[in-house]
Structure 1
Amino acid sequence: MRIEAYTQVQQLYNTKKVSKAQSKSGAGRSADELQISDFGRDIQIAKQAVAASQDVREDVTASIKSQIQVGTYDVGIESFADKLMKRYEEMR
């Protein structure tokens, strides 16, 4: 049995144990810090604005709702078909 090889292996394992013990002590460490960039702040502000806004724009949909209730809302078949085909082409 070669004792030198055993000693070398043992030294490798001992150095890893020491480094773990040193990392656990953590003496002299500063507190964690988070920095958000200006772009990140802008995104946060935009998200807050979207969350605070209404889902449906009542000023746009009110006239359409009243026309539907009265029965006077007319969807042009040709314009609907054109829009449908444009969407289909976009999705392809």
Structure 2
Amino acid sequence: MRIEAYNQIQQVYNTKKVQHTGKTEKATKTDNVQISSLGKDIQVAKQAVKNAPDIREDIVAPLKQQVQNGTYDVSADDFADKMLAEFA
């Protein structure tokens, strides 16, 4: 075992005690958030969608009335075309 190497390592790990002066400074840090114009536009769009009704009553009400009256008629050709478009 080399004693000289041990002495060198011991010198590296020797630490001095920290002296406290009693004065402490508090660092004031603030966080800043910057939202881009695209982010603001997305927030506005989300709020508009959230406030919009789920059902457009101006479109649904007349159709509902036609179904209740028995006057709602669906063209068989239109129905078949939409089914073929869906599964093609």
TM surpasses 0.5: yes
Give the secondary structure class of the aligned counterpart of 1:56: coil
Query: How big is each residue's C-alpha offset from its partner over 1:50-82, in whole Å with a ceiling of 9 and x where there is no partner?
Result: 111111111111110000001111111221121
Residue in 2 that maps onto 1:78: 77
Structure 1 residues not aligned, in runs of 5+: 12-26
Give aligned-pair identity as a percent: 46
Residue in 1 that maps onto 2:56: 57
Give the secondary structure class of the aligned counterpart of 1:55: coil
Q: What is the number of equivalent residue pairs in this alignment? A: 70
Deviation at 1:35, TM superposition (A): 1.1
1:66 paired with 2:41, answer no
* Higher helix proportion: 1
Larger radius of gyration: 2
Structure 2 residues not aligned, in runs of 5+: 14-25
Distance, in Å, in 2 between the alignment partners of 1:88 and 1:36 is 44
Give the TM-score of the pair, scaled to structure 2: 0.64
Deviation at 1:43, TM superposition (A): 0.6
Give the TM-score of the pair, scaled to structure 1: 0.62
Residue in 2 that maps onto 1:33: 32
1:88 paired with 2:51, answer no
The residue type paired with residue 86 of structure 1 is A
